[in-house]
Amino acid sequence: MAEEPGAAVLIETSLGDIVIDLWTKDCPATTCNFLKLCKIYYYNLNAFFNVSKNFLAQVGDPEATGKGGNSIEGVLNNRTKYFTPEIKPSLKHKEKGTVSMAVSRDSEGKPGCGSQFFITLGENISYLDGKHAPFGQVVEGLDTLEKMNEVYVDSDGRPYKDVRIRHVVILEDPFDDPASLVIPNEPPTDVPDANSGLVRIGSDEDLEQDLDEEVKEKRRRDHAASASALTLEMVGDLPFAEIRPPENILFVCKLNPVTRDEDLELIFSRFGKILSCEVIRDKNDGSSLCYAFIEFDQRESAEAAYFRMQNVLVDDRRIFVDFSQSVSKLHTQWLGGQGKKGRHTRESVPRRDLPKAGGAMVFDLEERDRREQKRQRSRSPRRDDRRGGYKKDYRGSRDDRASRSHRDYRDYRDDYRSSRDDRGSRHYRDNDRVDRYERR
């Protein structure tokens, strides 16, 4: 493990600030070179030209090509000059946020370091050990690294929207400045790779500044809906956040309470084959809740019914038709009815397109009513009758059994008593006969 840091810098990037502790005792040449380059604003406005998710973010080449960059000695002497990398077995790329110098090799295979460095975006990257030279650790600004880890990049790892170092502040520098070091009065204001053709979107450009308020509001709603869908997935209400409702089911509301399932099915059947048509009813008294769900076998049939049946009079009521936003049926099929995966897989269940993610309302009333109806159908007639006539019949039969038992017991008791009296009288008669015989 590295010794106590002897220097520190604050790097202000377009995504946030980063504080780096430098290991000056373990890597004196590397840290001195880095600090002096920071002091002459060499890194100001440099772009992160190589960002690999969960791997590293590389910067330090003013040309942003990965082929440039110079050491402080080369900058002062106006020539290309590299220094020998300080690669030590004890210094590894173990923790996230490890700062390391990029090591390149010349035509003869000799390693050297200039100004390019990278910051690891993952942990335990042993692939880099022994090949590059760690010299510091990010101690503040890990949230900035998280943002950097999520940026959109092209096939070469270059972010589509530039991520740049805006300014570097030296917090502590234990090294003396070289005699020829001249510190500029002002930091540079021109982007060094502005004419390279690699810049697509500037780090300071606001992509939404020219958008209409309506478009901005829609994006905010979509973002909030995506977050809500992810929350529902985490708590188990949705099988996964990208699910979208089926396109062959219509939601019909503002119905007349007298409208029945078969009436609605007959009206909508002219648009195509109907798999199910159900008017949702109250579970207690069975009264209509004035809305229904109609499932067609074809999406085209549902679309035709949607356009043709809007505001149509049905039983003296103008109905409202929309595509169903409920995913409860898909959720039930996903669970398989027993908390397990059913016939649908993650790939087979319809999903929203990720760039157009929107919130889907989940009509819990539909699933609740269906479960209640299924539960009522599964009941035996005997249990249903217990709410009404069966209970009375049971009481009557119970009373009859009790009365019959009482009558049987009473008859038995009387018979027993009579038989007992008979036995007693016979015994008395027998004793009396014996007494009379002995008296004789």
Tens of pLDDT, residue by residue over 325-342, are 766 665 555 455 444 444
Domains 8-172 and 249-331 share a fold: no
Instruction: Rank 98-107, 135-144, 275-284 by mean pLDDT and report only the highest.
Output: 135-144
Which CATH code for domain 249-331? Answer: 3.30.70.330
Position 435 pLDDT exceeds 60 = no
Of residues 203, 195, 204, the one with CA closest to residue 65: 195
pLDDT of residue 266: 92
Give the bridge partners for 411, in sequence order: none
Q: What is the pLDDT of residue 364?
A: 45
pLDDT at 387: 47
CATH-assigned architecture of domain 8-172: Beta Barrel (2.40)
> CA nearest 248: which of 281, 273, 278, 280?
273
Residues in CB range of 14: below 8 A, 6 or more apart: 162, 163, 164, 166, 203, 204
Identify the pLDDT of residue 378.
60
Output the CA–CA distances (angstroms, integers) from residue 31 to 5, 83, 110, 142, 165, in the order listed: 10, 12, 21, 21, 18
- Give the max Cα distance, the chain: 165
According to the model, what pLDDT value does residue 146 have? Answer: 95
Domain limits of the chain? 8-172, 249-331
Of the listed ranges 45-59, 188-202, 359-373, the least confidently predicted one is: 359-373
Give the pLDDT confidence of 176-223 residue by residue, as tens digits. 999 899 999 888 888 887 777 777 776 666 655 555 677 777 777 777
For the residues 144-171, what does the mean pLDDT come to?
92
Arithmetic mean of pLDDT, 371-376: 65
- pLDDT (average), residues 138-145: 94
The answer to whether the CB of 191 falls within 8 A of the CB of 45 is yes
Would the pLDDT of 119 be above 90?
yes
Average pLDDT over residues 362-388: 54
